[in-house]
Amino acid sequence: MSGQARVTRHFHASDDVNEAIAGELALTDPAVRASRDAFERLLDPEFVEVGTSGRRYTYEEMLVWLPEHAGGSRGGPRLEPSAITGVLLAPGLVHLTYETDFEGRRARRGSLWRKQNEETGWRMYYHQATPVPPGVA
């Protein structure tokens, strides 16, 4: 898949789920990943991630780390998401799951998106990525 994610949207997916999916896809865009301002607007100030390495990242660490991380340059390799699905868990809380491929390395991912008010909109609150070993379906 080059440049576009395969997105699975449930027939009854709410606008909230679709907005969270749009935010998730934006976070895979090299232009967003390279821009602290753009990236900052999509992360909740209480954000935490557990990456494929097992390392834990906080909001501040991610803002510093991500622009320098692979996938953050327009001409470089790109994180390719696929099969994104989501569910509204409660008002203001969406859970997304999907897979990514980055230069042949696959990962299964899950994230929680939180909307505290209209001004901030939907922001990623938690993200976890689990590597998929070669040969695993």
For residues 119-123, average pLDDT: 95
The residue among 98, 24, 35, 89 whose CA lies nearest residue 63 is 35
Which has more confidence, 129 or 4?
129
Of the listed ranges 9-23, 43-57, 84-98, 108-122, the one predicted with least confidence: 9-23
Q: pTM (2 decimals)?
A: 0.84
Q: Given a cut of 60, is residue 12 above it in pLDDT?
A: no
Q: According to the model, what pLDDT value does residue 48 have?
A: 97
Residue with tokens 């696929």: 82
Alpha-helical regions (H) of the chain: 15-27, 30-33, 36-42, 59-65
**At 90, which amino acid appears?**
A
Q: Given a cut of 80, is residue 123 above it in pLDDT?
A: yes
pLDDT digits (tens, 9 = 90+) for 27-86: 988 888 888 888 889 999 999 999 999 999 999 998 887 767 666 667 777 889 999 999
